[in-house]
Structure 1
Amino acid sequence: MIRKSATGVIVALAVIWGGGIWYTGTQIQPGVEKFIKDFNDAKKKGEHAYDMTLSYKNFDKGFFNSHFQMQISFDNGAPDLNIKPGQKVAFDVDVEHGPLPITMLMHGNVIPALAAAKVNLVNNELTQPLFIAAKNKSPVEATLRFAFGGSFSTTLDVAPAEYGKFSFGEGQFTFNGDGSSLSNLDIEGKVEDIVLQLSPMNKVTAKSFTIDSLTRLEEKKFPVGESESKFNQVNIINQGEDVAQIDAFVAKTRLDRVKDKDYINVNLTYELDKLTKGNQQLGSGEWSLIAESIDPSAVRQFIIQYNIAMQKQLAAHPELANDEV
Structure 2
Amino acid sequence: MKKSTIAVGVIIALGVVWTGSAWYTGKQLEKNVDVVVNKLTADTSKKLGAEIHSTVKDFHRGLFSSHFILDIAPVKGINIDGIKSNQSLQLNIDVDHGPFPLARLGSGNILPAMASAKLSLVNNELTKPAFDGAKGKSPVEAIVNFAWDGSTSSDITLVPAKYKYQNSSLTFEGASYHVDANASMNAFSYEGKSKKITVSGKNNIEMVIPGMTFSGHLNKTPFDFMTGDQRLDFESIRITTAGKPFARLDGLSFSANADLSADNKKLNAKGEYAVASLSVLGQDFGGGKITLDLASLDAVAFADFMKDYQQLSKEFVASTPAQQEDSIYILNKLKALIAAHASKLKKGEPEVKWLISWKNEKGEAALNLDYQAADTHKTLDDSASKTAVLDSQLKYVSGKLVLPVDMAIEVGKKGLMIADHKSEESAKAKATQGVNGLVGLGSMFKLITLENNTVKIDVRYSQGYITLNGKKMTVEEFRQQYGRLGSLH
Task: Say yes or no: TM over 0.5.
Answer: yes
Q: Which residue of 1 aligns with 2:180?
A: 176
Residue correspondence of structure 1 range 181-196 to structure 2 within 5 A: 181=185, 183-196=186-199
Question: 1:160-188: CA deviations, max 9, x gaps?
Answer: 2233333321111111111162x221111
Q: Which residue of 2 aligns with 1:123?
A: 123
Q: In structure 2, give the amino acid aligned to 1:107.
A: S
Q: Which residue of 2 aligns with 1:167?
A: 171
2:246 to 227, 243, 262: 243
Counterparts in 2 of 1:251 and 1:244: CA distance versus 1, 3 Å: same
Greater mean alpha carbon deviation, residues 212-221 or residues 228-237: 212-221
**Once the 2 structures are TM-superposed, how far is the Cα of residue 287 of structure 1 from its aligned partner?**
0.8
Q: Which residue of 2 aligns with 1:305?
A: 311
Q: In structure 1, give the amino acid aligned to 2:174.
A: E
**Once the 2 structures are TM-superposed, how far is the Cα of residue 196 of structure 1 from its aligned partner?**
2.1
SS in structure 1 at match of 2:137: coil
What CA distance in whole angstroms lies between the structure 2 residues aligned with 1:27 and 1:51?
28
Q: Structure 2 unaligned segments of length 5 or more: list them.
A: 328-489
Q: Which residue of 2 aligns with 1:157?
A: 157
What CA distance in whole angstroms lies between the structure 2 residues aligned with 1:220 and 1:213?
20
Counterparts in 2 of 1:89 and 1:220: CA distance versus 1, 3 Å: farther
2:218 paired with 1:211: no
**Once the 2 structures are TM-superposed, how far is the Cα of residue 74 of structure 1 from its aligned partner?**
2.3
Greater mean alpha carbon deviation, residues 87-96 or residues 199-208: 199-208
Counterparts in 2 of 1:175 and 1:312: CA distance versus 1, 3 Å: closer
Greater mean alpha carbon deviation, residues 285-294 or residues 112-121: 285-294
Q: In structure 2, give the amino acid aligned to 1:174.
A: H
**Once the 2 structures are TM-superposed, how far is the Cα of residue 259 of structure 1 from its aligned partner?**
2.9
**Once the 2 structures are TM-superposed, how far is the Cα of residue 126 of structure 1 from its aligned partner?**
1.7
Question: 1:103-143: CA deviations, max 9, x gaps?
Answer: 21122211000011111101122222211222322111111
Q: In structure 2, give the amino acid aligned to 1:177.
A: A
Question: 1:231-273: CA deviations, max 9, x gaps?
Answer: 2122121221222322221111112113313553332211112
**Once the 2 structures are TM-superposed, how far is the Cα of residue 86 of structure 1 from its aligned partner?**
4.6
Q: Quick check: which has more Rg, 1 or 2?
A: 2
What CA distance in whole angstroms lies between the structure 2 residues aligned with 1:227 and 1:202?
31
**Once the 2 structures are TM-superposed, how far is the Cα of residue 214 of structure 1 from its aligned partner?**
1.2
What CA distance in whole angstroms lies between the structure 2 residues aligned with 1:83 and 1:189?
30
Q: Which residue of 1 aligns with 2:47?
A: 47
Q: Which residue of 2 aligns with 1:261?
A: 264
Contact 1:154-1:176 within 8 A present in 2 as well: yes
Name whichever structure is richer in strand by fraction: 1
Q: In structure 2, give the amino acid aligned to 1:147.
A: A
Counterparts in 2 of 1:82 and 1:296: CA distance versus 1, 3 Å: farther
Q: In structure 2, give the amino acid aligned to 1:236.
A: I
Name whichever structure is richer in helix by fraction: 2
What CA distance in whole angstroms lies between the structure 1 residues aligned with 2:182 and 2:56?
24
Greater mean alpha carbon deviation, residues 195-204 or residues 79-88: 79-88
Q: Which residue of 1 aligns with 2:56?
A: 56
Contact 2:199-2:207 within 8 A present in 1 as well: yes
What CA distance in whole angstroms lies between the structure 1 residues aligned with 2:31 and 2:266?
36
What CA distance in whole angstroms lies between the structure 2 residues aligned with 1:251 and 1:90?
34
Give the length in aligned residue pairs. Answer: 319
Q: In structure 2, give the amino acid aligned to 1:105.
A: L
Higher relative contact order (CA 8 A, sep 6+): 1
Counterparts in 2 of 1:267 and 1:210: CA distance versus 1, 3 Å: same
Greater mean alpha carbon deviation, residues 92-101 or residues 11-20: 11-20
Counterparts in 2 of 1:205 and 1:180: CA distance versus 1, 3 Å: farther
What CA distance in whole angstroms lies between the structure 1 residues aligned with 2:303 and 2:55?
28
Counterparts in 2 of 1:319 and 1:83: CA distance versus 1, 3 Å: farther
Q: Which residue of 2 aligns with 1:290?
A: 293
Counterparts in 2 of 1:180 and 1:199: CA distance versus 1, 3 Å: farther
Q: In structure 1, give the amino acid aligned to 2:263.
A: D
Q: In structure 1, give the amino acid aligned to 2:245.
A: D
What CA distance in whole angstroms lies between the structure 1 residues aligned with 2:81 and 2:119?
23
1:275 to 273, 278, 301: 278
**Once the 2 structures are TM-superposed, how far is the Cα of residue 16 of structure 1 from its aligned partner?**
1.4
**Once the 2 structures are TM-superposed, how far is the Cα of residue 278 of structure 1 from its aligned partner?**
5.5
Q: In structure 2, give the amino acid aligned to 1:307.
A: S
TM-score by length of 2: 0.60
Counterparts in 2 of 1:201 and 1:222: CA distance versus 1, 3 Å: closer
